[in-house]
Amino acid sequence: MQTFKDFKDSELRHQDSICVNESEKKETFGENFKYLLIGIGFGIVFVKAEIVSWFRIQEMFRLESFFMYGVIGSAVAVGALSVYIIKKLKVKTIKGEEIKIEPKTFNKGQIYGGLLFGIGWAMTGACPGPLFAQIGYGASVIIVTLLSAIAGTWVYGKFRDYLPH
Amino acid sequence: MFEFFKQPLPWYIAGPLIGLTVPVLLIIGNKTFGISSSLRHICASCIPGDIPFFSYNWKKELWNLFFVAGIFIGGVLASLFLSNPNPITIQPELQNYLAQYGIQNFSGLVPNDLFNWSNLLTLKGFLLMVVGGFLVGFGTRYAGGCTSGHAIMGLSNLQWPSLVATICFMIGGFVSAWFLVPLILSLTI
């Protein structure tokens, strides 16, 4: 049973987030290792496709290579087809729960924040995921970039109410 | 056979594998795919500072921290066992452009001439690593997602706000790569 407290908490977790745990079931600590394994596979693909390379990101924005457009385009195509099938066939989770994807509401943050992130993306050559992979691959100084990104998120949280949305 | 796995993956294999993360996360645990949220959970778990935006039950999103820890470990494994013996292929246009600014080392994932510890104390390095990182963390949360959350998960679910965000990511990136990055690269301090 979902309590009012759970409801408020879920609402807060959804704030400015697309990536949320929608499950109402409790997971044991051990179950988190499933996500660790998926992350490992994901990290290997990231590095092996050189998506986490600063050079690839410059080539993408300078329109010198099709590569990243191919990666993102085919990822979206497979993702969209999967979501369509899941909705159409009402596929359930392995625990028999109904799959829920919260629709996204528009606010101006998607424009202002999107532009700011884009500027940072071309500078660092990395979005948040690749930062973790680059550090793992041995670029130790990227720890500073990651800490700075965490600081950026914190400053956003602190001043959120004063920013236009 | 093992040699095969050392070659770089083509986009038509890497892209679909990344796209498959969307249904896998949904089916194994009703989780919507995204990565930048992990930065928020790190704030909520380590430095919440009584800020309402960080006062939620982050343990419910612990899975996301395991996921990014996995990405880190994936990077370690790839460097230990699967690293490509050949130098990464860089388009000649990009090589020429970077050579103007004295960048000639193309061996790493990030240009070692720019991203190194001693460069942190130069204006050029500070802007690229520290200010760039800050914009990534601030901008993704302000936008409510990053490339994975908006461009992949959001677009897969046909959400138009995610399309707006993705277009803004690209506009910001184009402006930055064409005007701002060359300006920063030309700095000598």
CA A34 distance to own-chain centroid: 17
- Which residue of A65, A72, A117 to mutate against B (max B Cβ within 10 Å)? A117
pLDDT at B1 over 80: no
Low-confidence ranges of chain A (pLDDT < 70): 1-2
Using the beta-carbon criterion (under 8 Å), do A48 and B120 form an inter-chain contact? no
| A25, B30, B127 from A29: Cα distances, Å | 13, 16, 39
For residues B14 and A49, is the Cβ–Cβ distance under 8 A? yes
% of residues, chain B, pLDDT over 90: 85
Percentage of residues of chain B with pLDDT beyond 70: 98
The pLDDT of residue A2 is 62
Distance from CA of B127 to the nearest CA of A (A): 8
ipTM over 0.85: yes
Tally of residues, chain B: 189
Please answer yes or no on whether B143 and A50 come within 8 Å at the CB atom. Answer: no
Tell me the CA end-to-end span of chain A in Å, nearest whole number: 33
B93, A64 in Cβ contact below 8 A? yes
pLDDT digits (tens, 9 = 90+) for B108-132: 899 999 999 999 999 999 999 999 9
Nearest CA in chain A to B159: A104
| Per-residue confidence band for B2, with pLDDT thresholds at 50, 70 and 90 | low
- B60 CB contacts (<8 Å, ≥6 apart)? A9, A13, A21
pTM of the shown model:
0.94
Whether residues B35 and A52 touch (CB distance < 8 A) is answered with no
pLDDT for the residue B88: 79
Which pLDDT does position A43 carry in this prediction? Answer: 95
How many H-runs (helices) and E-runs (strands) does chain B carry?
10, 0
What is the Cα A1 distance to its own chain's centre? 29
How close, in Å, is residue B189 to chain A by CA atoms? 17
CA distance B90 to chain A (A): 7
Kindly determine whether residue A42 and residue B162, on different chains, have CB atoms separated by under 8 Å: no
pLDDT of residue A1: 53
Angle at CA A99, nearest 5°, toward B36 and A165?
40
- The minimum CA-CA distance between A14 and chain B, rounded to whole Å, is 9
B-facing residues of A in 104-163 (CB < 8 A) are 104-107, 109-129, 131-142, 144-158, 160, 163
Residue B31's SS3 state is strand
Alpha carbon of A24: minimum distance to chain B alpha carbons (Å)? 9
Please give the helix or strand (H or E) that residue A87 lies within, else none: helix A67-88
- Could you tell me if A15 lies within 8 Å of chain B, comparing CB atoms? yes
If one compares A4 and B155, the residue with the highest pLDDT of the two is B155
Q: Do A75 and B78 touch (CB under 8 A)?
A: no
Contact B109, A47 (CB under 8 A): yes
User: How close does chain A come to B111, measured CA to CA in Å?
Assistant: 7
Residue in B74, B160, B162 nearest the CB of A40: B74
What is residue A165's DSSP assignment? -
Q: pLDDT (tens digit, 9 = 90+) per residue, B31-85?
A: 999 999 999 999 999 999 999 999 999 999 999 999 999 999 999 999 998 887 7
For chain B, report the end-to-end CA distance as a whole number of angstroms: 48
pLDDT at res. A5: 79
* Per-residue pLDDT at A92: 93
Chain B residues closer than 8 Å to A26 by CB: none
Query: What amino acid occupies position B10?
Result: P
Among A113, A122, A144, select the one facing B143 at the smallest CB separation: A113
Give the pLDDT of residue B89: 85
User: What mean pLDDT, rounded, does chain B reach?
Assistant: 93
> Across the A/B interface, how many CB contacts are shorter than 8 Å?
553
Per-residue confidence at B13, pLDDT binned at 50, 70, 90? Answer: very high
Interchain CB distance below 8 Å, B129 and A124: yes
- CA–CA separation, A21 and B156 (whole Å): 17
A111 neighbourhood in chain B, CB within 8 Å: 164-165, 168
Give the SS3 label for residue A125: coil
CA B73 to chain centre: 15
**Which among A51, A95, A154 is the top mutation candidate for probing chain B, defined by the most B β-carbons within 10 Å of its own β-carbon?**
A154
